[in-house]
Amino acid sequence: MSYDVSGDPRAQLLQRLASKTATIGIIGMGYVGLPLILRFSEVGFRTIGFDNDLAKVVKLNRGESYIKHIPAAGIAQARANGFEATSDYSRCREADAIIICVPTPLNRHREPDLSFVVNTTDAIIPHLRRGQIVSLESTTYPGTTEEELLPRMQAANLEVGKDVFLVFSPEREDPGNPKFTTRTIPKICGGVTPQCLEVGVALYSWAVDKVVAVSSTRAAEMSKLLENIHRAVNIGLVNEMKIIADRMEIDIYEVIRAAATKPFGFVPYFPGPGLGGHCIPIDPFYLTWKAKEYGVHTRFIELAGEVNSAMPEWVVGKVMDALNERKTTLNGARVLVLGVAYKKNIDDSRETPSAELIKLLQEKGADVDYSDPHIPTFPTMRKYKFEMKSIELTPQTLSAYDCVLLATDHDAFDYKLIKQHAVLIVDTRGVYGDAADNVVKA
């Protein structure tokens, strides 16, 4: 497709995207930004990755990976295609598209922390020029794009929708899930103006098979929150059902499997030791915070948050009860936590409930170790700091612990070996379906 590009920044940008002569810059080379930039490189665009972490920049420029499910071969191929990483934001001027993929955590008061988004925007503003598109992918409350990014771009004497273009397109990554890739997951996109949306769709259509256009950035922002709140609420429901079933001596996993045979009207969700990952434990609170501005109290969402947040304490209570039944106290007991990634088969420990489990166990006097084949050293976190390294699972190590707490059900664990040699297993993931004297479900 060709465009009349005479003096028209929109047409010029669309033409560069159509001909793949545009340069794509992505800020934040993490679990979202890195696979996305590899995808743009794969389809033939020149790409620049921005990150404040110099160690990441060095590794990427060497063609090395620091994320387990992203192979180094993919990065090496991108490097051969012209991809480079940098911490120099002045190079944003080279990019025709600037995509922001930075964290949006909560502060200690469980309120939105937009400092990464705001600081990144302030860093790129001096280097913006006519004919660029800026896309925010970081999950946030409705209104962020228009309230935080738009005024800053306007203050740079750039007319959004004419000189430059601004969209919100929420990330949709499921690390470690081989069924879905950056290409195959549909991409929602909302623009500040219709012209912005047109450019945004043109940009993302190269990277993904299906772009879903919505009427505004606010609708796009809300859609992402609804996706994750839907999961958080349903997980909260099934976690509460787990507690009820436990009191009634009913296997909640058997109940879920039975209910899932209904071919309509039911979607199975499974309980666990608490919520993990960057999205589900955090995103609902972005909406509850913003809703207060409109006089709305999000009781349903907050109740689910309370149930899910209480799960680590409930699990530790089950550990204490199981030890008591075996004439052992948690104070002084040796406990091995299996899995510190927030979900199976990945090396991502962001917001992992295992961290809270370890803290609670230690506070009650337990001597705690962990084993995780994907995370050899416990990472430093904002709320937690454990000087720990992963323990190798052998018959000798397993039998040396008073309790093995199964927190993350990695496929790499030898569950037969664990069951054979562990004195006591507290299973929070329903791995052990059959009754056994040394297995307690939590």
Active site residues: 279
Distance of alpha carbon 104 from alpha carbon 259, whole angstroms: 36
Residues 6+ apart with CB under 8 A from 173: 31, 32, 35, 182, 185
Report, in angstroms and rounded to the nearest whole number, the Rg of the chain calculated over CA atoms.
24
User: Residue 173, Cβ neighbours under 10 Å: how many?
Assistant: 21
Element (H, E) at 405: strand 403-406
Looking at residue 419, its amino acid is: K
SS (H, E, C) 86-130: ECCHHHHHHCCEEEECCCCCECCCCCECCHHHHHHHHHHHHHCCC
Looking at residue 234, its amino acid is: N
Distance of alpha carbon 120 from alpha carbon 127, whole angstroms: 12
Burial string for 325-337 (b: 16+ CB within 10 Å, else e) reads eeebebeebebbb
User: Residue 253, Cβ neighbours under 10 Å: how many?
Assistant: 20
User: Residue 427, Cβ neighbours under 10 Å: how many?
Assistant: 24
Residues 6+ apart with CB under 8 A from 366: 330, 331, 332, 333, 334, 335
